[in-house]
Structure 1
Amino acid sequence: MTHFDWKQLFNPEFYILLEIAGVKIGLYVVLFIVFAETGLLAGFFLPGDSLLFLCGIYSESLLKDFSTGSDFLNVSILASLISLMGILGNVFGYWVGKKSGSYLYKRQDSFFFKKKYLFQSKDFFEKYGSKAIVFARFLPIVRTFAPVVAGIVNMDRKRFMFFSVLGSILWSFTMIFAGHYLYELFKIEFGIDLKHYIEFIVFGIIAVTTVPVLWKLFKKRVHIE
């Protein structure tokens, strides 16, 4: 029996290549993660942007049982499925916020829920308004709680749906197509297989997406103090 390393839970490649009894379930796991990241308020610690970028690289493997024979169509279908799950997750998060009201602000912290992230998302939402739903898709942690905040402040449902659909489509298609076609570009033009540099790619994407957010929060704390 292969020893399980809990650190694999933070590795997006682990989910994409996951098999149970010889059956590849990576596609279903990825779709669930995208939903859980906003719908279940439990995904702030899960890989988000890096997961989608790697989905683009492994698109052929993920859609092996559903291949259409067209590379572009396959990637488009994958991006559409992930976009749909992102929309559903946002809608569920919005519903949770609308129903829970102020309860979440009084809830105790746990491994799956950090109240400080809720306050940070609220500040982000107040600064950018409806556009925060779009911007949040590209920001770890914030995208988990932004839909909930939208529900708490009773954002207009139709307006929320419009920006939710727009943000999810932009996020999924941008990250997946970037991963897929950059992988092909490097392999064909430079003979470099990006699959051999997954760790560097993951760390790079995490740095690009999270460092600006952390820096902004740090500056805000320093300003307050």
Structure 2
Amino acid sequence: MLTTTVLAAALTDAPMQALAAGPLPALGPDFLDAEKLINSFGTAALIGIVAVVFIETGLLFPFLPGDSLLFTAGALVAQDSLQLNIWVLCLLLFLAAFTGDQVAYVIGRKLGPKVFNRPDSRFFKQKYIDQTYAYFDKYGGRTIIVARFVPFVRTYAPVAAGVGKMHYRHFVSYNVIGALLWGVGVTLLGYWLGNFSFIKNNIEALLILIVGVSVLPVVFELWKARRKEKAGETVEGRDTDYDEPVERAAVEREVFGHAATPPVDGQAGTEVVDDGAAERTER
């Protein structure tokens, strides 16, 4: 995603044209505009940035600018617009990303399927759970790493790992790698690119571009959902391959070695396994 951003910036003159046209409009609500969000924190910018990363990854609130926030924070530090030490920022972002996933895992482990069987609300949609199981089905345990770079999925993947009782040592290993690649890697990419004169002179236009590119995965997923719905593969945006407990249990059994999704009347193939049995299965 970030590679696409850099190539787009380097190969086109869109940023220069945007600057020449005057002030640039924000895309979406202010809390989705990474630069505005950071500026709103004022002298507490460091605390605010770290808190946003923790909330998005650990408290089941996916509607926050994850990728663009990290890249923008790194770029603003390089511009001296943020008076922060880049290594302190990276360390704290790593801890926030790692701890956030740990909390989400515990939520899934302790509350179990109750978390994923909630009715749709303003901020909780069952279709995001379907998407998370689709990623586990495709990538297995590596989803914990891959999900870091996918909006919505990065919020629910650690919860799904907890629900499915993924072996804790495996989860921690994936979590460390994911937190480093995402929390530290994306921030440093913004910092290093921020030292290039082109980016330094056109930071406002590039930040708008970053926000736009960061929402492309969401647009792409909506487009895929629309296509699947027309083909009868989804119902109200939900993937029919993963929208039933028995289907989620099949993924859990394949990825985690056992199923923790509780049985539902009229459906077979699910089983509830206690923690001791889960550990024995993993070993």
Q: TM-score range by the shorter chain?
A: 0.7 to 0.9
Farther-moved stretch of structure 1 (24-33 vs 104-113): 104-113
Kept after mapping to 2: 8 A contact 1:76/1:173: no
Q: Percent identity?
A: 35
Residue 130 of structure 2 corresponds to residue 112 of structure 1: no
Distance between the aligned counterparts of 1:128 and 1:214, measured in 2? 20
- Give the CA deviation at 1:18: 1.9
Which of 177, 198, 201 in structure 1 is aligned with 2:210? 201
- Give the CA deviation at 1:215: 4.6
Partner of 1:36: 55
User: Under a length normalisation based on structure 2, what TM-score does the superposition of the two structures give?
Assistant: 0.66
Distance between the aligned counterparts of 1:219 and 1:7, measured in 2? 27
Partner of 1:18: 40
Residue 189 of structure 2 corresponds to residue 178 of structure 1: yes
Distance 1:16 1:191, change over 3 A: closer
Aligned length: 204
Runs (5+) with no aligned partner, structure 1: 1-5, 68-73
- Give the CA deviation at 1:92: 0.4
Partner of 2:114: 103
Cα root mean square deviation, aligned:
2.2
- Give the CA deviation at 1:77: 2.5
Distance between the aligned counterparts of 2:227 and 2:156, measured in 1? 21
Residue 150 of structure 2 corresponds to residue 150 of structure 1: no
Which residues in structure 2 correspond to 1:15-164 (within 5 Å)?
A: 15-19=37-41, 24-42=43-61, 44-59=62-77, 60-62=80-82, 64=83, 74-164=85-175
Partner of 2:201: 192
SS in 1 for 2:70: helix
Runs (5+) with no aligned partner, structure 2: 1-27, 235-283
User: Under a length normalisation based on structure 1, what TM-score does the superposition of the two structures give?
Assistant: 0.81
Distance between the aligned counterparts of 2:182 and 2:211, measured in 1? 17
Distance between the aligned counterparts of 2:147 and 2:197, measured in 1? 30
- Give the CA deviation at 1:25: 1.3
Distance between the aligned counterparts of 1:115 and 1:103, measured in 2? 12
Amino acid at match of 2:201: I
- Give the CA deviation at 1:105: 2.9
Q: Which has the larger radius of gyration?
A: 2
More helix by share: 1
Distance between the aligned counterparts of 1:130 and 1:53, measured in 2? 26
